[in-house]
Chain A
């Protein structure tokens, strides 16, 4: 007999991972870029 599974928790988890993972990647890449550009500006002042 086929097991009946409620798909809703799986849908919620998939959206959390899809949206959360993408958002985390954007924020992390933005922070790394800002940090690198500030380091470049500091190297100019030295």
Chain B
């Protein structure tokens, strides 16, 4: 793990990995969405609304996975002081928040024709909305630490504590009898027909590759900003030192 602690080594890998992840992600997502749109039969209760599954479930998974990435990277930052872990956590926040917002909006658009309601205050939907607010809070804390030259420790602790919400989101539909349906996807025993399953798995892989590519883009941006700021500070200090000597 510490092999990747060197920013120069990380940048060498990220330069070719970023476009690869993005291009593969776009191709796999486009293929999965096209396959779904062309092959999905209308579901007998939901009719055409079932198509929304392909742009609702992958963002939901990535909203939760994004926060788990923040929690793990924050732990690595606090315990092992890995120099890239804090940057990775900050880089995962925006794509995580975007996918959580997409999940909430597409869920609302799915709920109206199937449930007859845009929104219900059940535990699954409410804990997902809370996740979006947690992302906003994390981005505010991490941004403030960056502006004020702080350590980012508060944001890291917040990132770890916020992970408590993830099992609540996941198990809410198992523990309670909610408006939101129970999970259809599970390891080795999915309750979903294969005609829906394969395009859905393809979309999940494609969106995940895009997520990885965006995280790398944002890590490169944060690193470049830090390096530019450090260089400008060094030059300003050298200028002050030369002025004082003369």
Q: Which of A's residues lie within 8 Å of B, judged by CB?
A: 2-3, 5-8, 10-11, 13-15, 17-19, 21-22, 25-26, 29-30, 32-33, 35-37, 39-40, 42-44, 46
Contact = CB atoms under 8 A, between A and B. Distances in A.
A10 B52 contact: yes
A30 B218 CA distance: 8
Contacts of B228: 36, 39-40, 42-43
Interface in B207-246: 207, 210, 213-214, 217-218, 220-222, 224-225, 227-228, 231-232, 235
A7 B221 contact: no
B94 interface: yes
Interface stretch (B43-51, B80-88, B166-174): B43-51
Contacts of B221: 29, 32-33, 35-37
Given A21-B101, A25-B98, A29-B214, 12 more contacts: A2-B116, A5-B112, A7-B48, A7-B49, A13-B109, A14-B55, A14-B105, A14-B110, A21-B102, A22-B98, A26-B217, A29-B94
**Chain A interface secondary structure, helix, strand, loop or mixed?**
helix
B63 interface: no
A18 B49 contact: no
A36 B222 CA distance: 8
Given A7-B48, A43-B232, A14 B106 contact: yes
Contact of A14 (B109, B116, B207, B218): B109
A19 B33 CA distance: 10
B95 interface: yes
A17 to B, nearest CB: 5
B124 interface: no
A18 B210 contact: no
B90 interface: no
Interface in B109-127: 109-110, 112-114, 116
B109 A25 contact: no
Contacts of A6: 113
A32 to B, nearest CB: 5
A3 B116 contact: yes
| A-B pairs, 8 with minimum CB distance | A18-B55, A7-B49, A36-B224, A7-B113, A33-B221, A36-B221, A29-B217, A43-B228
Contacts of B227: 40, 43
17 contacts: A10-B112, A10-B113, A11-B49, A15-B33, A17-B55, A17-B102, A18-B55, A18-B102, A19-B33, A26-B213, A32-B218, A32-B221, A33-B217, A37-B224, A40-B224, A43-B227, A43-B235
